[in-house]
Amino acid sequence: MLKVLHKNSQVCILFLIMLLFNSACTNQVADEPNKADRIKLVSDDGKPYIGFVLDTLKEERWYKDKALFEEKVVQMGGQVKTLAANGLDDIQIKQAELLIQEGADVLVVVPHNAEISGKIVEMAHKAGVKVISYDRLIKNSKVDYYISFDNEKVGELQASEVVKKVSKGNFAYIGGAESDNNAVLFREGAMKVIQPLIDKGDIKIVYDQYTDEWKPETAQENMQSALQQNSNQIDAVIAANDGTAGGVINALSSAGLSGNIPVSGQDAELMGVKRIVEGTQTMTVYKPITLLAEKVAEVAVKAAKGEKVATDRTVNNGEIDVPSILLDPIAVTKNNIKDTVIKDGYLTEEELYKK
C-alpha cells in the first residue's frame, strides 16, 4: 500500500513539473509585453516604480551609481528594482522585458551596446513605458531622455593633461569599447586637442585601438602590441578610463617604462587615483556620480508621475534629437585630489594614502 501511494505521489509530482515547464515555455515565446497585460508585481502599489537596467556590476564605479540612484528614488517616494546583465546583450534585453512585465513606470538603462539597446526602447514604448538613457546614449531609437556628462569634454580633458606633460612625439590611443557611444565621444574629444598638433607635425599617432568590452587585460595586450610595433618608442598614452589605464600601465611596467610615460584615465576609481598618487598615471576624469545618479533619479520619478522634465539641450542619436542633460566633468591630477574627490567624500585620504 505504501509503495503504491509513493508511486502515485511521484506521478503527481511529475505531472506538476510538466505543467510548470509548459507554462514557462509558453511565457518564453509570448509576445512582447504590452500595456494591457502588464502586472505590477512589486510592493507599495501607487508609488512610482523605476526599473534600473545596468550594463554591469563588474566595475567599481557602478556599485556607487546603483546605491546613490536607489537611495534617491526611495527618498523621492518611489520604488526601484536594479538588474545587471554583466555585459550580455540578450540578458539585458530579457531583464528590461521582466521589469516591463512587472509594471515599471520608467526604465533607466545603462546600455551595454548602444545599437542593440534600441530594442529595449521599442519594447518599453509598446508597453507605455518611458526610457532614460543613463550615462551612455542608446543609439537609433526614440529614447525619451539622455542624462550624462559632456563626454567629448572628457576626452578633451584627457588629452589636454597629457599634452601638458608631453606635446611632441609618438602617441598611442587606447580607447574603450567601440560599441559604447561614450568611447567614440571620448576619442572625438581627445582628437580635438591632438589634431592641431598632428597637423603641425609635433605629434604622431602610432597606435590607435579600441578595447573590446573595456577589458583591462585587452588594453594591456593592445599596449604591448603598441610597444612591440614601435620598438618601445612611445612618448604618451591616452587611455579612455582607469580600467584601460591600468592595463596600459601593466604593459609599461613590463617594459620598464612605468612612471616615465604620461597616461590618462577616467572615472576616478580608487586604483586609478592611487596610481596618480604613486606617479604611474597622470590624471583621471572625475564625473561626480552623486550629481548624475540623483539627477537621473529625479527625472525618472518625475517622468513616472507624468510631470514635465526640463532639459538643457538635445543630442542626436541617429534617429532623433534626444532631450538631454549633460553635466560637467572635472580633471583630477596629483595637485587637486584633495580639492575634488576627497572634498566631495567620493574617496578618503585613508584609502588613497595609507601604506
pLDDT averaged per 10 residues in sequence order, the chain, 355 residues: 41 40 37 53 75 91 93 97 95 97 97 95 98 96 97 97 98 96 96 98 98 97 98 98 98 97 96 97 95 97 96 96 97 97 93 86
* Pure H helices in 36-150: 60-75, 89-101, 118-126
pLDDT at site 12: 43
pLDDT at site 37: 54
- List the grid coordinates of 251: 604593459
Residue with cell 515565446: 29
CB-based contact 203:171 (threshold 8 Å) = yes
CA distance 266 to 181: 15
Strands of the sheet containing 321-327, edge to edge, are 79-84, 49-54, 106-109, 130-134, 145-149, 321-327, 313-316
pLDDT at site 57: 92
pLDDT at site 58: 85
- List the grid coordinates of 125: 514604448
Q: How many CB atoms within 10 Å of residue 83?
A: 16
pLDDT at site 46: 82
- Share in percent of the chain as helix, strand, coil (round to 5): 45, 15, 35
pLDDT at site 220: 98
CB-based contact 304:78 (threshold 8 Å) = yes
pLDDT at site 5: 38
Residue with cell 534629437: 321
- List the grid coordinates of 164: 601638458
pLDDT at site 60: 78
Domains in the chain, CATH or no CATH each = 35-143+289-327 (3.40.50.2300), 151-287+331-353 (3.40.50.2300)
Between strands 79-84 and 49-54, the pairing is parallel
pLDDT at site 61: 81
Count of helix runs (H) and strand runs (E) in the chain: 11, 12
CB-based contact 243:217 (threshold 8 Å) = no
CA proximity to 264, closest of 181, 154, 353, 183: 154
Residue 120: alpha-carbon gap to chain centroid: 16
CA proximity to 55, closest of 45, 66, 46: 66
Task: Give the number of C-alpha atoms closer than 13 A to the C-alpha of residue 324, restricted to the C-beta side.
Answer: 22
Distances (CA, A) of 325 to 149, 244, 275, 315: 8, 27, 31, 9
